[in-house]
Amino acid sequence: MQPTFHLLMKTKQAARSRRLLGAALMLVTCMLAQPLHAELLVHKQRFDMPKFTTQSGVTLPVSVGWEAYGTLNHDKSNVVLVTHYFSGTSHAAGKYAATDAQAGYWDAIIGPGKAIDTNKYFVISSDTLVNLNVKDPQVITTGPASINPKTGKPYGLDFPVVTITDFVEVQKALLDSLGIQKLHAVIGPSMGSFQALEWASRYPDKVERVAAVIGTGYMDAWTAVRLERWAYPIKADPNWQQGNYYNKPQQPKTGLAVALAYVTQDALHPSGFNQKYPDLTLDIGAHRDIRQSFTAWDQLLAAATTRSQLMDANSLLYLVRASQLWRAGMDEHWQASLRRIRAKTLILPAAGDGLLTPAMAAQTAAVIQASNPQVTQQSIAQPAAGSMGHLDGLLHIQDAAPAIQAWLEH
């Protein structure tokens, strides 16, 4: 009986080992079949203010869209506000539908288990006023293309000039409506960095952490005039009609497309641009005929024309002006405004950025650090494959994920 018993035990152990091995293989197979991070599905919500007074003193009704990722905790202390860039929207992460071709612009760092972990944080983002993508069905914004309730017609250039502070005040009203009185953090790239720094300087007791990605606390004269190049093609387009083109057959499509082409070129580092667009030596026609354009320009303009389909020319002008006027605190004493910041601060320039340069970021960091020792500055390095310049703050934000996670959690 003894040998039979041992044989039976060995048989059972072998069967058990096979079951464990099978379970382990199944687990590995499932892990390989699933993405590392769960995909976020989000939906756009609407916030309405019957009366909002701009910094210029004009009172009007405004609406903005917003979306959120993660769960708000019981004491509403886990809120991370993400403020978007010049041509962006509130769609910072996730997808509206599983079939969407692309996720939000910072999906690489926002989501379950990512640097801005939605298992821990309630992440919220809103469309700005005068959002450029006003024709996008997923964008809700008030701007020159909106209907003026006093006339029943689009505002056009009767819409008031708005500032970065106006964007922040609308966001604050949205958060107030949700009962959120304090931010664990606010972070944004480019024009979003302006909003983040304005939040931290305007409401130092409400912001615990602030991160300015590819940004600055001020706009110098050189950069402000450079941005005028983005506005000029629209103003020079005869179909612009002094901004009174709504509901007319002639639209400033050419001016808008050229403006967007300039925006793209200025945001790219030459190395990244030259990798993306063909060498001019290949354009034989341009060598022989002054009327022939370069293939690189044709491709850049074609991409800009496609992007422009969801955009509004007047809205671009308003965003240019809001960016040109940017100073922390929106007055000449921007340094004093930055020195009011008490939040733990992360300054993240892109090493190859020629638009909002690392030097501007360094000066911003130095001003804040004069009164606040909690300042960290770290560059997004130029990728070995070639820098995308300003756009590294969007396309290569994953490289800064460890710095962002450390800033959030410590």
The verdict on whether 333 is a catalytic residue reads no
Task: Check residue 15 and give its pLDDT.
Answer: 47
Residue 224: which residues within 8 A CB-CB, separation 6 or more? Answer: 323, 324
> Which tokens is 168 given?
């922040």
Specify whether the CB–CB gap between 253 and 308 falls below 8 A: yes
The verdict on whether 390 is a catalytic residue reads yes
Tell me how far apart the alpha carbons of residues 215 and 85 are, in angstroms, rounded to a whole number.
10
Catalytic choice (87, 125, 126, 190): 190
Task: Check residue 282 and give its pLDDT.
Answer: 84
Task: Check residue 385 and give its pLDDT.
Answer: 66
Task: Check residue 175 and give its pLDDT.
Answer: 98
pTM above 0.85, yes or no: yes
Domain ranges across the chain? 1-34, 45-222+320-409
Task: Check residue 387 and give its pLDDT.
Answer: 87
Catalytic choice (146, 390, 392, 396): 390
Q: What is the pLDDT of residues 46-67, one digit of tens each?
A: 999 999 999 999 999 999 999 9
> Which tokens is 69 given?
């990722």
Tell me how far apart the alpha carbons of residues 267 and 261 are, in angstroms, rounded to a whole number.
10
Q: Does the domain made of 45-222+320-409 have the CATH classification 3.40.50.1820?
A: yes
Angle at 303 between CA 195 and CA 230, to 5 degrees: 45
Q: Which residue blocks in 277-333 are alpha helix, DSSP H?
A: 284-288, 295-307, 313-324
The verdict on whether 371 is a catalytic residue reads no
- Give mean pLDDT in consecutive 10-residue pieces for the chain, a chain of 410 residues: 39 45 36 50 97 98 98 98 98 96 97 97 98 98 98 98 98 98 98 98 98 98 96 98 97 98 96 91 91 95 97 98 97 93 98 96 98 96 83 96 96
Query: What 3-state DSSP class applies to 116?
Result: strand
Tell me how far apart the alpha carbons of residues 295 and 388 are, in angstroms, rounded to a whole number.
20
Catalytic choice (107, 117, 312, 353): 353
Task: Check residue 38 and give its pLDDT.
Answer: 60
